[in-house]
Structures are given as C-alpha cells and as structure tokens.
Amino acid sequence: MADQEASQWIVLLVDDDYENLLVARQMLELYGAQVHTARNGVEGLKLLEQITPTFVLLDLSMPQLDGWEMLEAIRARPETKSLPVFALTAHTGQITKEKVREAGFDGFIEKPFWLNTFLTDIKHYLDEA
C-alpha cells in the first residue's frame, strides 16, 4: 500500500461530530479519495457490510457504539480483522498513542486535522499496516 495514491482510497470515516466529519471528508475528497461516512459505530458497521474500504478513520468517543467497541467488532470479523483502522481523537491528554496501539488500532490521528499533515499521517500509517 505504500505507493498507493489517495485517489485510489476508499475510506470509511466514522465520527459523530458533523464538522469533523465534513472537514475530514473534504480533505480526503480534495485528493480524490472516495469517502463513506457514518455518525456512530452502528452505522459504520452497517456500511462495512456494503463496502470494502482501504482503511477506516474512527472517532473514539461516540454515542451508541464508540470507536473502541467498533474496533473490537471489526477485529472479530474474519473479513475485516486485518483492515487498517486509525483512531481519531481530540483527547490526546487522556488517551495515549500506546493505549490506542494496544487496543489494536493501526494509527492515531489528532483532531483538529491539519491539511499539511493529515494525508501524510495516513500514508505513514498505511505504510506500517
């Protein structure tokens, strides 16, 4: 995946905050990615039954089914257990990168998103995945 361009990505973006969802979607679409969005983990898991994303960007704190729980469900399914999943959070003081990695996430992206580093961070984590 290291040489894959953003225009080839199919992204599942799951976040309950509309503004974060909108900003991340616009940034990804600016580079040609196909983006599918969900407002919580329940919606995100339903979308995973319909699409095969290149990776998932997953907010950690959401109603109904949070990012931690959605990750568990993703890892429990044989067809998605190796899917790259990157945590999205603004709670960097409370949630360490180590805790996110130990839980099974493939990367950690801090909010707010910055255009000059957002894609670079994603590509870096895809290279590692």
On whether residue 83 sits in a domain, the answer given is: yes
> For every one of its 129 residues, what pLDDT tens digit does the chain have, with 9 covering 90 and above?
434 689 999 999 999 999 999 999 999 999 999 999 999 999 999 999 999 999 999 999 998 899 999 999 999 999 999 999 999 988 776 667 788 989 999 998 988 888 888 989 999 999 987
CATH number reported for the structural domain that contains residue 47 in this entry: 3.40.50.2300
Q: Which domain holds residue 32?
A: 1-6+27-91+106-117
Count up the domains in the chain and report the number.
Answer: 1
Q: Which residues have a Cβ under 8 Å from the Cβ of 112 and sit 6 or more positions away?
A: 20, 23, 90
What's the pTM value of the predicted model, to 2 decimals? 0.92
Query: Which tokens belong to 67?
Result: 């990012």
pLDDT at residue number 2: 39
pLDDT at residue number 94: 61
- CB 116: neighbour CB atoms within 10 A? 6
